[in-house]
Chain A
Amino acid sequence: MPENVDTTILIVDDEDAIRSGLVSALERAGFHVLEASDGQQALDVIEAQKLDLIVLDILMPVLDGRQVCRKLRQAENWTPVLMLTQIEATGEKISSLEEGADDYLNKPFDSYELIARIKALLRRQEVAGRSVQMAHVLVSGRLRLERETQRTWLEDGEIALSNKAFGVLAHLMSRPMVIVSREQLLDHVWGWDDPTGMRTVDVRVAEIRRKLGDAATDPEFIETVAGVGYRFIAEVASE
C-alpha cells in the first residue's frame, strides 16, 4: 500500500494539461488528490473537505492564488500551501510567503521536484507544530523577527539584515532546536538555481552573528553543528 494514501492534496491550476499531469504524478506517489481549476472552486473544495496540503497556482481566473491564500489565512485556516510562482524574481517569492504560503516552486518544474517539496512540507508540519512555523512574528528573548515586513529587532533597536541573512534567520528561528543543514538553507533561502555554495551560507550566518552580537564559540542564538549546519538554540515564541 502506498505510504501517502491518507494524505489529501488539492491541486489548483487553470491549465488542464498541468493539472491532469500533476494529478497522475501525485496519485502515483500515493497521495489522494483533488483538483480545482480556479480560485473560487478551490475555496469551495477547501470548505467541503479536510485537506493536508494545497498546491496553488498564482495566476488564475476568478480568484488568483494570492487572494485564495489570503482568504484562507484570514479565516484562520492553516493548511500548508505550496505556491506555484510564475516569476523567479525575489520579490515574487517574498510576496508569496507574505500572503501566507509556506513554500513556493517556480514554473517550470518537474513532478519529482514538486513531490519532494510536498513531502518536506508535510514533514515540517509533523516536526514543528503550527504556531512557530506559520507565525508572522517570532520572538526569542530580546530578539524579535517580523516575517511580513522583513524587519528584525534586538532589544529595542532595529537591525538591518540583508535579504538572505533575514531568510536564514527566519528559517532557523521557525525550527528551534532542529539541525538545519547548509543544503537545506541553500535550497530554501537561495532557491534551486542560484550558483551559490556552502560558504555563502556561512557568510550569511556570520552576518547574523555579527549584527546580533552572537559569538560562534558561546552562542546565545545560533549554534554551528560541525560538518552539518546550524541550529537555533534559544526558545522561540510566536505572536
Chain B
Amino acid sequence: MTGWNEKILDIDLTSGSIKTYPLDMNMARLFVGGRGLGGRLLWDLVGPGVDPLSPDNVLIFTNGPLTGTAYQTSNRFSVSTKSPLSGTILDANSGGFWGMQLKRTGYAALIVRGRSEKPVYIEIKGEQASIQNAAETWGLRVSEVTNKLGQDKNRRNVLCIGPAGEKLSRIAAIMNDGQRALGRGGSGAVMGSKNLKAIVVEGNQKTEISDPERYKFMVYETRKLLAASPLTSQALPEFGTAVMMNLVNNVGALATRNHQHNMFEGAEAISGETLSETYLVKNDACWACPIHCTRISKTGKTGEVEGPEFQTAWAFGAQCGIADLEAIIEANYLCNDLGFDTISAGSTVACAMELSEKGLVDSDLRFGRADLLSSTLEDMAYRRGLGVDMAEGSWRLAKQYGAPELSMSVKGLEMPAYDPRGMQGQGLLLATSNRGACHMRGNMLGLEVLGLPKLIDRFQIQGKSSYVILNQNSNAAIDSLVLCKFTSMGVADEYFARTLSAVTGIQYATGDMIKMGERVWNLERLYNLRAGFTSKDDTLPSRLLNEPAPDGPTKGWVVHLEPMLKEYYRARGWDANGVPTPQKLAELELKEL
C-alpha cells in the first residue's frame, strides 16, 4: 500500500537494542496513523498496572499516510503513552517540521521503551538510528538543546525536553522545533523518566502516492477552499487564535480566577486584537500550511518568540486574573523553554493563587500578581519551594493542601478556557474526554457560540450528546490522519476521505472517516476502563456542578451533567455504566480487545 511507511523503529533504552519490523497493515487500515495507530500499539504494549514513569511505559511517535506529502497541514505528528498526570491513555500532537522529517526517515512509528542508565539522545539519519550520549545537553533549556543538536529548518529537526521534563514534572511537555509542543498530559515527564533528552531526525524519503493526479487535484481544491474561507484566510492569519477571547468572554463563558468567575474585566487587554496592535511582529506557519496562525511576538525580555495562543493567553491571563499581555508573552516563552504545557502550568498557578488567598498555602501568590509568574515557573521546573508540589499539577497540589475541589481538572488534566456553565455541551465534552479535560478532543464552540455549521442553544441539555459525539469522532479521525483541525474550518470531512483515498489507494468514504474516529474513541475508552477508570470519572469539578455562575449572561447556571451523560452513554452504544457493548465493539472491528 502507498502512503504509509510500512516499518516500525523500536528502541529499548535499557538494553540499547534497536530493531525494525513491519507495520501491521490491517492495523494501519483500521487506525490510519497518529493518535489512532499510536493508541492501538499502546494497547498491546502498556498494560493497566504499569506506572507511567517506570521503564515499562513507552513513548510511541507516529505519523500518518498524509504526513509529509505537502497536503495542507500534513506536518503534524503524534505521541502516545500512558499519562503520568491522569493515568489515562494519552496522545498529544504537534505541528512544525519534526513530524514531516520523521516521515522522511522511512518509519511509520518510533517506539521508545525502557530507561537508559545515563542521559542519552536518539539520532535517526535516514533509516539508521543510534543512541548518543547526552551529557552535554542534559540540564539545558529547550532553546539551548535545540540549537546545540543542530536544528536546521526543514533538513534536521530536534525534539527534546527541558528542565521540567528532566525533573519529572507531571505537566511537562515534549517540545519540537524549538517552540512547538506535544503539550498535554505530561509526556515530557515520561521522556525524562527514560533519561532521554532529545530525538533528532534527518531524512530524505518521499511518500509514495497511489494516484498522483487525483492527489494534486485535492491539494488544489483544498488550497482554494482555505483561501476562500475568512476563518482560515483572514481571522487566523491576522489575529491568531486569541481572537476568540472577547467573544467567549462577552457571552459569559471565559473561565476566570480559577473558575470562580466566568467573565474577565481584562479580556480586551489580552485579546488577539490587542496582541496585533502591540507585541505582534509577524505571523508564521508550520511546514505546508497556508493558514499562518502562528504569532511571533516580541517584548523587551524575550526577543522574537512564538505565541501566545488563545489557551495560553487565557491560562496566564483570565485564569490568573492577569491583564498584562507582556507578562503573559514572557510566561509563554518561559513555559516553552522550560518545557511545560502552558494550559496546565497556568491553571496550576491559578489553583495555587486560590489556595494562597484562602490561607491554605503560605505563599505570596495572589490573583493578578503578574510579577510572580516567571519566578513561580522557574520554581516549578527546578522543583524549589512550593514549586515542588506545583510541578505535580493542580490536582495533586490541591489534594496535598486539603482542597482537591480547587483543582479545575477532569481526570487530573487541567481544563481549557471555557467555563462550561455557559456552554452545557462543552461540559459534557470535557467530562467525557478520554485524556481528561481537553478542547482538542472535540469542541462545542462552533455549535454553541459561533453558529458553525448551525447555532444551537448553548444552555440546552436535551439532545446535546449527539453533537458532542460527532465532534469527538471527527476530531479523533483528524488526529489520526494526522492533520491540523483548522483545516476543517475550510474543508469538509469528505475532502479528507478523498485525499486519503488518493494517497493510499484504499477507498475511504466520508462515513469511513467518522467510523474510524469512533473506533479510536472506543479503543481509548476501553484502555481507560482496563486501567480502572469508571463512569464516576466522567465528571467535572464540583464548582461547575454546584456553584451557579456569578456573572453576566450565564449568571445562575451550573452544568447539568447527569442527564446529558445518560443520554451520551446511550447514544454511544454503551451500557448504563459507560462500557461499550459487545455489539458496538463488533461493529467497530474491535472485538479482539
**Do A and B truly interact?**
no
Q: Which residues of A contact B (CB under 8 A)?
A: none
Q: Which residues of B contact A (CB under 8 A)?
A: none
